Structure 1
Amino acid sequence: MTARLLTSTRPWRATAYLLTGWLVATVWATAVTALVLMPALALAIPLAGIPLAAVERWRQRLIDPVPLPSGHQRLVRPGLWGWLATRFREGATWRELGYAVLFTLVLAWLDAAVGLLVGSALFLVVFPALVHFLPAYQPEPLLGFVPARLPDAFLATAIGLAALPVIGYAVTAYATVRARWTRALLLGRPRRAPSAQLVELTRSRARIMSAMDAQRRRIERDLHDGAQQRLTGLIMTLGMARLQLAGAPPAGRDLVETAYEQARATLTELRDLVHGIHPQVLTDRGLAPAVTEIAERCPVPVELRIDLPERPPEPVEAAAWFILNEALTNIARHSGASRARIELVRRGGLLVIDVHDDGVGGADAARGTGLLGLADRVAVHTGRIALSSPPGGPTVLRVELPCAS
């Protein structure tokens, strides 16, 4: 194991990890000093740990194969003020500031001292070359007993080669421990793993939601293939009866006419009901055409931006369609908006849904506007939902659904 370590690039990556820390610390200390000297920017000092932590997560890749994730939350409100409000409230910002101070004052310089051990061993290895190529370089006997002349200077090379494996192993071990410290300091206390009961509850809820979706699709097919067809046949029969009763008494013609109009109205309502359960276009053509259809039916003008290189899994499509349908219904009924915008994009393993409107705002799940149902839908798919709806608007809804194929 030791031989495999010494023949790999890990000791050199560990050395690079340790020796680059002082440069990061110096740049950060200079930047913070500049902020202190400019009172107008003093409020930015608590946020100064954020860029240093980002650099540390990048440097961590040199020694830690497991990526170090950011501890920050996703933004609820867009824009600079939304970013500042979120960052000042979360614990990750203050952990990163504390780490930045500790790193700059202590850890970076301790790292550099340990990393220089490798440099010392390399200096011993190349000592004879220095003596040969720099004739003016005639130091006192190295280490007190290695003469600065050839061939005696090769004793330093032997000492350096013997010390290099020991130093490389020690430096790598220290760098590994330091990387773990960084992970612990930046991420804080790890979250407890969910209990088996909670996992089973989540799976049970997902199964129930899948069963409900399947039942809705079955009802949609039954209504489409059964009740709608029979109702359409009834309307055709009543239409022909109207023609046959052209010379009948007015009372009879009025009754047939009333039945004909009521049947047509019932068919329209039934079609709307079927469409609200699970539209056929979603099954046949996918999410983008289905969303386009509900946007066209919305009484509020809707601007669409859809970027879906491939269809998401069927359960995710159904959840996304339900969320967008409910969101547009809320906009039409409660927002007082004059326009809305939907962005539906695939970003890696996430389906990201953004819904904006310029309405009066003040959307609240406690007021029964369908937001709890949306949250339940998102939770089933272990997604995320964020809502910003201050009084006076605008309202911004963001949903992220995992959709790894």
Structure 2
Amino acid sequence: MVRNPLQAMTRRPSEFLRSSWPWRSALYLLSGGVIGGATALVAAALAAAGVLLTVALLGLVILAAMAFSGVLVGGFERWRLRLVDLDPIETPHRRPAEPGYRSWLATRFREPATWRELAFTAMSLLVLCWVDLGVIGLAVYVPVQVAILGAYDDVNGGLLLLVSVPFGLGLAVCSMYVLAAWAGARAALTRAVLAPRDDELGDRLIAVTASRARLVDLFELERSRIERDLHDGAQQRLTALIMRLGLLKLDVDGPAREGVDEALTQARAALDDVRELIRGIHPKVLSDRGLAAAVRDIAGRGPVPVDVDLDLPRLPAPLELTAYFIVSEALANVGKHSGATHAGVRGRVEDGRLWMEIRDDGHGGADPARGTGLTGLADRTAVHDGTLMIASPLGGPTVLRVELPCE
């Protein structure tokens, strides 16, 4: 697919001339020339006013505002670039750490992108916009003038007109290539100056990673709060209710005793459900005894026999919780989908990384695209910048391996 005028020019002339690229190029240059020329006049007037009013301090405000005007121009140019470049440019700017104009100004002042945009603005107002107007003016003026040249031929009876019109049309075709070439070069220059640098993208990636880590911590705090509320609230009340029903059962006979028995059975079932819910939110054995003990606990409660071979130290709580839920979900998939008769879990910490491997002897064919929980496992792994690999040929076995950095 053609993405810009320079690529379009490499196609056959018939394809290029029938496409929208010559007209997009003309609109890009025309808008750049007209808007740039008008902005240049306004900027010159403001600069003069700023110099004259410097004594009154108002001029300093005007000059400072002009220094940051490149940010607005840069954003507008990145948006306008979509006329001739189908690959959008991301903003090179970071989001301020705090709300308010002071934080915005301080952040923009420290960013190299701000000063690149200011330099590009100056270059556009002083040079590029006038070149845009010149190129598009010549591209229109020369073919038209040549085409109508024959209209002034009174000597040869209009014979010159028969030559000038085709020649003018040929020049019009050439002008379309000239417009596309300059628009493509102008767009390439804009991208080179206004696109984010690798280090700026790296800074944003670090910021996103830190934000993601904070969100993970907040989720774990909220998870712990819910687990604590269930443990200290609903579970305790259900336990007290079961005790009261047990005492009440001793004092009644006949049909009333049967009703108390039924209520006692339902209360015990509800208590089991709450305990299972608490274990799913944040298992107590994980907090008290670590990842290895928690994995052995869930392995012993599943429908498929599981061999557990884990030699793990205590790890950071968020890492243990992530690894626990990955193993828990993987073993749940083994029980629901694999048709396995046996499974195994192995894990070690080597070279600062935790690796765990879940293997089963089922029929294989596990595919994340079919939504068997594998996508969720990959998402949990990505939160900690880990890697998840799965091998599941038809006929089995299925091997899932996850690696997580311990720091």
TM-score with structure 1 length normalisation?
A: 0.50
TM-score with structure 2 length normalisation?
A: 0.50
